[in-house]
Amino acid sequence: MCYVYVKVYRTQMYVLVAACDEELLGRTLVEGEIYFNVSERFYKGSKMTVEEAIDLIRNADTANLIGARIVDRAKRERLVHPEAVLNIAGVPHAQIVKV
């Protein structure tokens, strides 16, 4: 089974979900002048299935996603437009902001 790390941030008005594929946690992705740190401080929350993470993302106001499994599933669920996905060192990254 494939897992992702998910951390949920709540304020009085907003919910942000940060999710990364489990093997990316703690890595730094480098592409040209871009250094993307998949930091434990930001992403390491609960370890869960992709399906559980998608349920949380559906109910979030914003989301930050990194990794093929979580981003591809978000695309299939139409939570992320395929053209909105960036690749950093070959790893898909997407952000969701509901307005």
pTM: 0.93
Q: How would residue 2 be classed by pLDDT, with cut points 50, 70 and 90? A: confident
Q: Which two tokens stand for residue 34?
A: 């871009």
Residue 60, both tokens: 């979030």
By residue count, the chain amounts to 99
Pairing of strands 15-21, 62-66: parallel
DSSP helix/strand/coil, 11: coil
Reduced to 3 states, what is the DSSP secondary structure of residue 68? helix
Tens of pLDDT, residues 31-48: 999 999 999 999 999 999
Segments making up each domain of the chain, as ranges: 3-97
Q: Please state the rounded mean pLDDT for residues 22-34.
A: 96
Q: State the pLDDT at residue 99.
A: 80
Domain 3-97 has CATH 3.30.1860.10: yes
